[in-house]
Chain A
């Protein structure tokens, strides 16, 4: 690992590290946010989708004539029309792209076949809810009514939704060009070494875990407003996403135009969590319809459409085996992970991210992993909050709990015995991921202290006295933050309104306008209030990798640091000219350029004025940076639950985390990220799920009535502490803080439930562990106990 060279511009930090209030809040708390549906254009009309009611069906014919007769209807558009107009496919690139991502392939190293993704399919519908036609009408109500009058003749086909069925030979097949549904089948690690270690192991524990499908549920339903200007032959699209620049390039491909002919605007985005990081068909459809009809066209998904057709998350089956010696030292690990990508492949990030982290926080000398992905008749899956990491964290942490229970170890001691130590950093794990830094055992110790682990015995006794089942949950975690490797920053020193930074990440609540300004303020020695961050309009923001995978703070602070250094160099030259001294005699400190030993100084504004007099460009720099090296945020978490044995109802009475995020730029924001991340993980463990009815192929969660959300009354308050072990891989030492809350949460909660039921016996409960499932498990265990007593 090459440590990042120290930048001399990083001196005393004034803004960085402070819990400053967010710049973006003023507009958001006063109703002045700029979300996609807040934009309207003169003459705008509305689009509605005709969606498949079948999980798998050939489209025989589509008849829009009755719909066309209805009030206000302007057009009915099908996949055949789109093909006739030469529209292309959404150019997904699902295999993660940095040098350090695990490389997933098809069988025998073959390229991965990703399916076809036209805006509307002309051949078949492959999942319930897939848009097969679009209706455009004067009003939204007219469009939705007319969509119901479009007559689609379907020929129903056999379907499959469960990955373990879909990957079998002979399962209903999604894509004719393939022999079966398995698009990825790759093996990593040292097979012979692993086999040898298992052969000599004193003990082996194994388990198969299911991490079911969930969906992101950003509170803002996805929306799009497209318009086409015939004069300039340019498309404009308002669409909240995880990165406007990516959307621009992908949609330009779909439309068959140069990227310059597409402008994408994405300002305030009402939640993302991965859900919005890939282009949606409706984005291209409103652009196409606008060109066809000569009117701006708007779409806003109903919540039920969001449930059915937002890109979904997780859906992994993981079989893991762990070999231990007689002293409880881990010797080797085997894993077999099967990911359900849905009807077409838009992202392999979950499988890839998880693959590099199967050994978790532990020093396991050898491991092998088989990673597979299969198609199925379900909505495609995508990275979802901490893509791939909660899954593998769950697998290793729950397996360690099982090993401790079965082999008679204390679950904390077994972990301590095997943790990667600080002295081993940087540590290369058995599947070739290079952990940059971290103090894993220290995280654990601190967690147990602030969470009062020692006091849990008294709380258990108290809960038991009240008739409750008390459970104590624990997990360590390590995760990787990689993400798209390229980022660009422009810094513009204005003559009258401070310093502007233009950058291509795309926040959806992470507070970039604040934390980026903190970094830039310190770099340039100016007050925080003097810096503004510009995001989200591709006519201004010309490049950038978007926001995902915990990449933004690390990539942004790095490219901003480099750009700031360039800017200081440039400004030094101008100052030297103005002060009539050689450039190497100019010193820069606290936002002032001066000549040591004199009282002659120049500030940013004066230099900007001087630069503006010389050239219209004024004082500005642009810097591009490419950074592949991943970082590995890590930490530990614990919780306590109380279960009512008569109802299966569960209360989380304590939830504590310690998270090493590297350098923390704004603790207010980082804690907020942790809180939200915890809620998403707890939600998956306890309530959230997207099951498919195996009789009909219909999804069973289509509204907030049947999708269990974390709510204010089922969530606890949290005790969270930030640990800062600076990463050597980037100038500020940033790791990431957006996903650590989620990564261990599934394991922490399920570990607590297992602990609570332990007095009754051992039983596996598949997530989400709803009160019904917990109650049923209690009945099963009690029946077993009674049978045992009566025998």
Chain B
């Protein structure tokens, strides 16, 4: 066992866990934040995507101990002050989700993409950037649309 401390969604947390505990297990089981999902346990599907110091990471292949002292944001903490994050709102407006299982990971990855992307963003680029997040329901059409709409709103006009 070891004690692992970090900041999750703005709150300092500390838990005693097995050394082998994965970050996703720490979030889901130790903290009860079940919005981050496990879809494959091999870093391939993206359902477990969270932010580590603002950067998208797949939490199923990160040990909790590796992020000691870091700042983690999960889907539960993406919105601020009781307001949805624009990416959450866009997924709803554009019908970018169906079963909702991959959705937290898609939203986290999409939010970071728009926040960190420099310059114009087009459909092709969104599709390339998001290929690590699998979805089986939507055919990606409305996910891409949602991400482009947030970029257009927050970062200026979308390139045609």
Contacts and interface: CB of A to CB of B under 8 A. Distances in A.
Contact of B41 (A25, A220, A303, A709): A303
B105 to A, nearest CB: 9
Interface string A83-113: 0000000000000000000000000000000
A511 B29 CA distance: 28
Contacts of A25: 91-92, 97, 100
A704 B34 CA distance: 23
B44 A703 contact: yes
Given A31-B36, A672-B142, A705-B44, A713 B98 contact: no
Interface stretch (A5-13, A73-81, A264-272): A264-272
Contacts of B126: 712
A221 B139 contact: no
A710 interface: yes
Interface in B8-43: 18, 20, 28-29, 33-42
Contacts of B28: 37-38
Interface in B60-77: 74-76
Contacts of B93: 21
B136 interface: yes
Contacts of A221: 38-40
B139 A30 contact: no
A218 B101 CA distance: 9
Interface in B80-103: 84, 88, 91-93, 95, 97-103
Contacts of A40: 29
B37 A35 contact: yes
A676 B35 contact: no
B35 A33 contact: yes
A651 to B, nearest CB: 11
B144 A271 contact: no
Nearest to B143: A712
Contact of B40 (A21, A303, A678, A715): A303
B128 interface: yes
Q: Is the interface of B mostly helix, strand, loop or mixed?
A: loop
B100 A268 contact: yes
B39 A303 contact: yes
A31 B76 contact: yes
Which size bracket describes the interface of B in this complex? 35 or more
Interface in A232-275: 268-273
B2 interface: no
A398 interface: no
Given A511-B98, A676-B98, A703-B42, A709 B138 contact: no
A208 interface: no
A713 B128 contact: yes
- Which residue among A24, A26, A219 has the maximum number of chain B CB atoms within 10 Å of its CB? A219
Interface of B: 18, 20, 28-29, 33-42, 44-45, 47, 74-76, 79, 84, 88, 91-93, 95, 97-104, 107, 123, 126-128, 130-131, 133-145
Given A24-B100, A29-B100, 12 more contacts: A25-B92, A29-B84, A31-B75, A32-B76, A35-B37, A219-B101, A273-B136, A300-B38, A671-B95, A676-B98, A704-B44, A715-B127
Interface of A: 21-22, 24-33, 35, 37-38, 40, 141, 216-221, 268-273, 300, 302-303, 508-511, 668-669, 671-673, 675-680, 703-705, 709-715, 717-718, 741
20 contacts: A22-B92, A22-B95, A29-B88, A29-B97, A30-B88, A33-B34, A35-B37, A270-B99, A270-B100, A271-B137, A303-B40, A509-B98, A675-B139, A705-B42, A710-B140, A711-B140, A712-B126, A712-B140, A713-B128, A718-B141
